[in-house]
Amino acid sequence: MAATFQLARSYTSVSLSHIPSSPSLPFITNKLHHSKISSTRISKIKNHGAFKIHAMAASFESRLEDTVKKTITDNPVVVYSKSWCPYSSEVKSLFNQLGVQPTVVELDQIGAQGPQLQEVLEQLTGQRTVPNVFIGGKHIGGCTDTLNLHRNGELEALLAEAKNI
């Protein structure tokens, strides 16, 4: 049981804090009440009949994906960023110079959901890095892509179109 506990402690994907105690798995519910566990480990637990976490993990990921999609749809300009990233700062500064106030989501300042949102963004866009820029509901790319659009005179047209959507 100690080896299983160590294995479970080494992963960080899905919170177990919302799962009720289970007499069949006291090592998880008692010792890892506020810890996290990977989808691989969840599948192993599920396969042993302990409880059905896999569906909850998929549901949580689906809700995060819906949140990202809603944020992108409801806001003309969205920047997923990290506060310490110089590339994110450069994109935010560019938008500021252009008089655009993007919706900025600082992934490093929203707790445990930050890395999870970054994974969802990677699944949706194929891009794991920040900044991750969306204009008018469309994925633009990162810093280099945004700056290239600006240099080519295409960024302003995208921003104007996004305001009219």
Let me know whether 93 and 126 are in one domain: yes
Q: How many CB atoms lie within 10 A of CB 123?
A: 13
Let me know whether 138 and 158 are in one domain: yes
Q: What is the pLDDT of residue 46?
A: 47
Residue 58 lies in a domain: no
Let me know whether 73 and 16 are in one domain: no
H-state helical runs in the chain: 2-9, 26-29, 39-47, 54-74, 86-97, 113-125, 143-151, 155-164
CATH number, residue 147: 3.40.30.10
Q: What is the pLDDT of residue 56?
A: 52
Let me know whether 78 and 28 are in one domain: no
Strand bridging mode 77-81 / 14-15: unpaired
Of 75, 79, 165, nearest to 121 (Cα)? 79
Cβ proximity of 86 and 63 under 8 Å:
no
Q: What is the pLDDT of residue 135?
A: 98
Q: Count of domains in the chain?
A: 2
Torsion on CA atoms 125, 148, 80, 13, rounded to nearest 10: 40
pTM of the complete model: 0.65
Let me know whether 18 and 89 are in one domain: no
Residue 157 lies in a domain: yes
Let me know whether 43 and 79 are in one domain: no
Look up the domain containing 89 and give its range: 64-164
Q: What is the pLDDT of residue 165?
A: 63
Let me know whether 76 and 145 are in one domain: yes
pLDDT tens for each residue of the chain, 165 residues long: 433 333 333 332 333 333 333 333 333 333 333 344 444 444 444 454 444 444 555 677 789 999 999 999 999 999 999 999 999 999 999 999 999 999 999 999 999 999 999 999 999 999 999 999 999 999 999 999 999 999 999 999 999 999 876
